[in-house]
Amino acid sequence: MGGGTGDDDVAKPPSTTAAMDVASPPPSSPAPAPSVLKSVLLSYAYVSVWITLSFSVIVYNKYILDPKMYNWPFPISLTMIHMAFCATLAVALVRVVGVVAVPTSPPMTPRLYAASVVPIGALYALSLWFSNSAYIYLSVSFIQMLKALMPVAVYSLAVALRTDTFRRASMLNMLGISAGVAVAAYGEARFDAFGVALQLAAVAAEATRLVLIQILLTSKGMSLNPITSLYYIAPCCLVFLTLPWYFVELPRLRAAAAAGGAGVRPDVFVFGTNSLCAFALNLAVFLLVGKTSALTMNVAGVVKDWLLIAFSWTVIKDAVTAVNLVGYGIAFLGVAYYNHAKLQGLKAREAERKAAASSMATAKEGDAEASARLLPEKDGGGDQKN
C-alpha cells in the first residue's frame, strides 16, 4: 500500500567518461535502498492504528448515545464536547508546542476565513450532529451500510458543481452502489425512517463539505492537515452547534436536571476518553494519509465497515439479515470498483507526469550536447583567423 520505489532511487551505472579515466578511483557503492518489507509493515501499522481508532470512536459514540447502553441521548452536546476538546488541543499543538505551522501561502485572512472556512465549519457541524443522532435510532451495522452512499453523493455533487466530469461508467457504478444500499435497507430488521433520514442528511452534508474543501481551499492553494483543519474549523463548528443546542437540547437537559436525572451530568472519565479517541483519530488520519495515500484510507475504510458489521452482529447483538448482507455486498463491490478506478486514474496521471519529466530531461540533454559540439567549432574557427 505504500508508494513504490521511484526511478530516481535506482542506482545508476558509472558514466562512460568516468570509466575511461584510469586515474579516477572506483565509484563508491550506492546507499542501500529502504527495505520494501519495512515499508509494507509500516503501511499496515498505520492502517491498523486508523482502523482501531475509527472503530473505537464509532462504537464509543454508539455506547454513549444508545438508550439501551449508557443512555445519554444528547448528540449535539456530545459533538460540542468533542469540538471543544479538539479545538483546545489543536490550539495548544499549533501555538504552544509548534508541532505544525500555520499555513502562510496563502495566509488565512479574516476574509478568506469567512468565505472558505465558515461554510465548511457549518457543514461539518451538520454532518456530525446528524451522524451522531442516527446512532440513537439505527444499528451500527446499518449505519455503515448507509455510509456506502458517500462516493455516490461526492461524485454527483462534483459533477453538478463541475469539479469532476460526467462519465457513464462512473454513473452506472454509482447507481449500482445505490441499488445495493436500497436492498440492504429493504432487509433491515430495525428500520427507522427518521434515523435513515438523519444518516442520509449526514452523508449529504459531509459530501458537500468534501467538495467545498476542493473548491474553497484546495483550488486557492491552501492545504490543511487534520491538526490545522481542527485549529481553524473546530472553533467555528462549535459556534454553529450552539444554535441547535440552545433550542433542541438545552430545554431537555434542564428538564432532565429538574427531574433529578442521574445521567444528565456527563462522566468525566467516559467523555474525556471518548474525546481523546476522537482527537487521536484525526492524528491517525494525518499519519495514514501522509505516509500512504487518501486512497489507502478509502480502501481501509471498507475493511473497517465489514469489521463494524461483524462486531455489531456478534457483540452488540444487532439483527443483521441475509438481505442486509446481500445488499451491502452489492454496494461493497461498487465501492471497490470506485476505488480501483481512482487508483488507475492516479497511476495514469503519475505515468503522464513521469513521461513529461523524462521528455523535458531528454530535451535538455540534447541541447547540452549540441552546445558542447558547437564550442570546439567556434574555437577552431578562431584559430584559423589567427
Average pLDDT per consecutive 10 residues, the chain (386 residues; last block may be shorter): 42 36 45 61 83 91 88 92 92 87 82 89 93 91 89 88 84 89 88 93 91 77 80 92 94 84 75 92 76 68 85 86 90 84 76 79 68 59 50
Confirm whether 384 is domain-assigned: no
Structure-block grid coordinates of residue 289: 494519509
CA angle 47, 48, 49 (to 5 degrees): 95
Distance CA 88, CA 276 (A): 12
By C-alpha distance, which of 147, 176, 195, 158 is closest to 337? 176
Return the residue matching grid coordinates 470512536: 57
Query: What is the pLDDT, as a whole number, of residue 294?
Result: 61
For residues 324 and 141, is the Cβ–Cβ distance under 8 A? yes
Return the residue matching grid coordinates 430495525: 190
Range of the domain at 335: 43-255+268-355
By C-alpha distance, which of 219, 185, 81, 197 is closest to 137? 197
DSSP state string for 217-257: IGGGT----HHHHHHHHHHHHHHHHHHHIIIIIHHHHHHHH
Distance CA 130, CA 325 (A): 24
Confirm whether 9 is domain-assigned: no
Query: Which residues, listed in sequence order, are joined to residue 107 by a DSSP beta bridge?
Result: 104
Query: What is the pLDDT, as a whole number, of residue 378?
Result: 53
Confirm whether 301 is domain-assigned: yes
By C-alpha distance, which of 273, 223, 224, 231 is closest to 92? 231
The torsion region of residue 27 among left (phi > 0), alpha (psi -120 to 50) and beta comes to: beta
By C-alpha distance, which of 241, 247, 217 is closest to 229? 217
Query: What is the pLDDT, as a whole number, of residue 293?
Result: 63
Confirm whether 1 is domain-assigned: no
Query: What is the pLDDT, as a whole number, of residue 263?
Result: 60
Number of independent structural domains in the chain: 1
Structure-block grid coordinates of residue 256: 432532565
Confirm whether 371 is domain-assigned: no
Confirm whether 191 is domain-assigned: yes
Confirm whether 16 is domain-assigned: no
Confirm whether 4 is domain-assigned: no
The torsion region of residue 317 among left (phi > 0), alpha (psi -120 to 50) and beta comes to: left
pTM value is 0.74
For residues 184 and 323, is the Cβ–Cβ distance under 8 A? yes
